[in-house]
Each structure stands twice: as C-alpha cells, then as structure tokens.
Structure 1
Amino acid sequence: MRLADLAALNAARAERRLCAAVTPLGGGPGRLVLAEDAARDPLAGPLAARFASARSGREEADGVFVRVYRPSPRLVVVGAVHITQTLAPMAEAAGFDVTIIDPRGAFATPERFGAHRLIAEWPDADLMALDRETAVATLTHDPKIDDPALIAALAAGSFYVGALGSRKTHGRRVERLGAAGVASADIARIHAPIGLAIGASSPPEIAVAVLGEIIAALRGASRLAEARAAA
C-alpha cells in the first residue's frame, strides 16, 4: 500500500469511517475507497456487498482483493424503558457497543440496567458521540427528549435512526422537525413506527423487531439485494 493510502486509511479508521483497501491480485498499486464514495467506484456492486457483509475477500472476476475496515457498530438508545431492558443485552450479544441515555433519573438506574453504559443526562450530539457507524433508537415517546436526539442523529449521518410511536405520532413529529429546519429528505430517513413489521406487541417483541431492523440497516440489506441482482 502506498504511503499516502496508508495515511488515508489510518485517518479513516481514527474517524470511524467504513472503508476498504482494493489491491490488484496481479500486483501494482491499490487504492482506498470510503464507503460513502463506493457508488461512484468501478467496483460499486462488489464493494456494496463487501461493505454490507463486512467481509474481506477476493473478487476473482475483477482481479482484486478487497480488505474491509469496519468500525465496531454502536447503538445509542434514548429512553431507559422496558423495551430497552431487552434490546440492550440482545444488541450487545450481536456485537454492538450500547449506550443508554435518559435524563429521567427514575428510569435510568443501575438497578434496572445493571452493567450497561447508562447516562442520566439530556441527549445531545457531543454526549451521544455520533457517527456513520452508530444507530440511534429513540424510545421515550417524549418529544422534548426524542426530537433533539433525532436531529443530532440525522445531522451526523447515523446509519440507522428510529423512533417509537404510531403513524399519527410520527406525523406530528414530522411537522415538528420540519419546523425546526430539518430537511424533508432527512426526516424521511427515520424508521417510524420503529422496528420490522412482525406484529410485535410486548416490549421484548418490539425489542426483537427494532434490533432486526437495525441489523438490516447495518448490513445494507437493500443495497446487498441490489448488488446480488446486478451480479
């Protein structure tokens, strides 16, 4: 790898940016591709699949080896609620670094959440330490808490942004965020009602639905299907 590419790789990893080193199998200079630039790369299809699976490997047809560098995914849950009590341990078992944020001291207690990282403060961009490899799920159902977290997550480009509530509740949320200056295209990125449509009703079932939707977003399920269809 050229020194310039190595420096760019180290910078990308320090900034927790998903990227890949593409090396010709027959020798010669390789290149570094950031995930956000992959759609414009000649290997757009294979790269989409590699980024989705986070697996390195040979692309024989293209004569290259793709080494994927993906930061450990994070999950920020806003709301120390019953759903979170199931969601947090499942997400950690799936490899997520989980942070729970809730300014309501009666909810955010070690007795309810054990050893999970728990912050009893109001969510903001600095506290949440957001980036493109972070998922954000807002579960308090309180606009004063959820809305600032949603705005920060959308501004940071977090790979998943979800919000608890009915379609009617989300309609009011859309109006509030629009009035706060959030672009319609950004608002459309919010998964609401949150979670996969599996008919979940209890808090543990909703937690399963939420984690499934987050993993689908992490693995780029829709992009991966498109890449496979084009192959």
Structure 2
Amino acid sequence: MKRDVLEALNKERHARRAAIVVTNLDNGSSYLLRQEDEVKGPLGEAVTEALRTGKSCNIEVEGHALFLNVHVPSPRLVLVGAVHITQALAPMARIAGFPVEIIDPRTAFATKERFPDGNLQACWPQEALARMPLDDYTALAALTHDPKIDDMPLQAALAANCFYVGALGSRKTHARRVERFLTAGISQEQIARIHAPIGLDITAANPSEIAVAILAQIVQAFRTRGIKAGK
C-alpha cells in the first residue's frame, strides 16, 4: 500500500469514518474510497455491500480482479439515563459487541455501585457529547423520561445521522416530544427516524425484557442500515 493511501486511510479511521482500499490484483495499484464517495455501476454495488457488511472481498469488474479491503468503525452505543433498563441493557450490549457509554447528570443514579463495569459519565449530555461526538456508527437510546435530559442528545443524534435513535416513553409522551422538536425546527422526516416507543414489539413487561427488545432493534438497525456509496 502506498504511503499516501495509508495516510488517507488512517485519517478516515481516526475520524470514525468507513473506507475501502481498492487494490487492482492485476498490477498491484491501489486507491482509497471514502464512505461518502459516489461510485456507480458494478463497483458501486460491491462497495455498498462491503460497507454494509464490513467484509472484505475479491470481485471482478470489467475484466479486472479487485480486492476490496474494508475498514469500518466499531459500532458503539450511547445510553442516556442510568436507569434499571440500562443496568440490564449495558452488559447485554457489550456481549453483542457494542462498546457502551452511559450518561446521566443525576448522581443518585449514575454511580459505580450500580454500573461497576460501565463507561459512566455523571454529567449533562451536552458536556459528555462535546468530549465524544456522535457519528453514523453510533446508536443512541434516551431512557430517562425527562425532556431536560433526553431532548438534547436525541436532537444531536439526528443531526449526526446516528444509525439508531430510540427514546423511551409512551405514544402520548412521544407526541409531546414531536411537538417540541418541530418547534425547534427539526423536520418531520428527521423526527420519524426516532424509534418511539423504543424497542421491537415483543410485549416486554419488565426492564430486562425491554432491554432485550431495545438491543434487538439496535442490531436490526445496524445490519440493515443504508450506506450511500452510489448505485
């Protein structure tokens, strides 16, 4: 791999953006494709699938043998609210391969005793997210039921195009949230990306079951997400 390609790849990886190194196996030349690059035709279709699955592969395009070396960020999960659901969801998400960050300004909830293994931040979401910006390989679930805590990170997740955005609450609660977000200038199309009520409908009846429903929905969203790489 040429030095300029490697340097460009490292820059994308540092910024938590997906990229593919395309190597021509016939002559050894290579170049970098970033996730926002528009690629058309058969190569574009292969790039789209490779970015979606995260799997490197050999392909043939117009008589040329190519190797697509895929580099995608690890998906992560940000949980707003150190609540009972979070206590069940955080360890399950880690088992599923999602690094977890928990945010809650309420120090009575955000304690090491309740979350001994968590990346726990006992501060307001705007402070935490300033240190760890959201991106499209991040899932965010707002679980406090408190608009003063939940609204800001939900809006930030929509702006950052997080692959999953979910919010705890009833349909009535979400209807009030929609009114607030519309007043704040957020489009109906953006708001429609919020999974609310949160989680797959498995008739969950307690915090642990709700956690299962949320994690299943997050995995589903990640595995079926759309990557803009051309058609």
TM-score when scaled to structure 1?
0.87
Q: Secondary structure at the match of 1:140?
A: coil
Q: How many angstroms apart in 1 are the aligned matches of 2:85 and 2:159?
A: 25
Name the aligned partner's letter for residue 25 of structure 1.
Answer: L
Deviations 1:93-128 (A, max 9, x none): 122111100111111111111121111111013044
Q: How many angstroms apart in 1 are the aligned matches of 2:212 and 2:67?
A: 35
Count of residues in correspondence between the two structures: 223
Q: 2:138 aligns to what?
A: 134
- Structure 1 residue 45: Cα displacement: 2.4
Q: 1:148 aligns with which of 152, 155, 164?
A: 152
Q: How many angstroms apart in 2 are the aligned matches of 1:210 and 1:44?
A: 32
- Structure 1 residue 49: Cα displacement: 2.1
Q: Secondary structure at the match of 1:45?
A: helix
1:110 aligns with 2:87: no
- Structure 1 residue 8: Cα displacement: 1.9
Change beyond 3 A, Cα 1:122–1:47:
same
Q: 2:213 aligns to what?
A: 209
Change beyond 3 A, Cα 1:73–1:154:
same
Q: Secondary structure at the match of 1:36?
A: coil
Aligned partners of 1:76 and 1:128 also within 8 Å = no
Aligned partners of 2:52 and 2:225 also within 8 Å = no
Name the aligned partner's letter for residue 122 of structure 1.
Answer: W
Q: How many angstroms apart in 2 are the aligned matches of 1:115 and 1:207?
A: 17
- Larger CA deviation: 205-214 vs 143-152: 205-214
Name the aligned partner's letter for residue 199 of structure 2.
Answer: G
Q: Secondary structure at the match of 2:70?
A: strand
The correspondence of residues 64-213 of structure 1 with structure 2, limited to 5 A, is: 64-124=66-126, 125-213=129-217
- Larger CA deviation: 179-188 vs 14-23: 179-188
- Structure 1 residue 61: Cα displacement: 6.0
| Greater fraction helix | 1
Deviations 1:46-87 (A, max 9, x none): 222222221112124663211111122211100111111111
Change beyond 3 A, Cα 1:9–1:128:
closer
- Larger CA deviation: 110-119 vs 26-35: 26-35
Name the aligned partner's letter for residue 125 of structure 2.
Answer: P
- Structure 1 residue 35: Cα displacement: 2.2
- Structure 1 residue 168: Cα displacement: 2.1
Name the aligned partner's letter for residue 32 of structure 1.
Answer: L
Structure 1 vs Structure 2: percent identity of aligned residues?
54
Q: How many angstroms apart in 1 are the aligned matches of 2:218 and 2:60?
A: 31
Q: 2:26 aligns to what?
A: 26
- Structure 1 residue 198: Cα displacement: 2.2
Q: 4+ runs of 1 displaced by more than 4 Å? A: none
- Structure 1 residue 217: Cα displacement: 2.0
- Larger CA deviation: 194-203 vs 26-35: 26-35
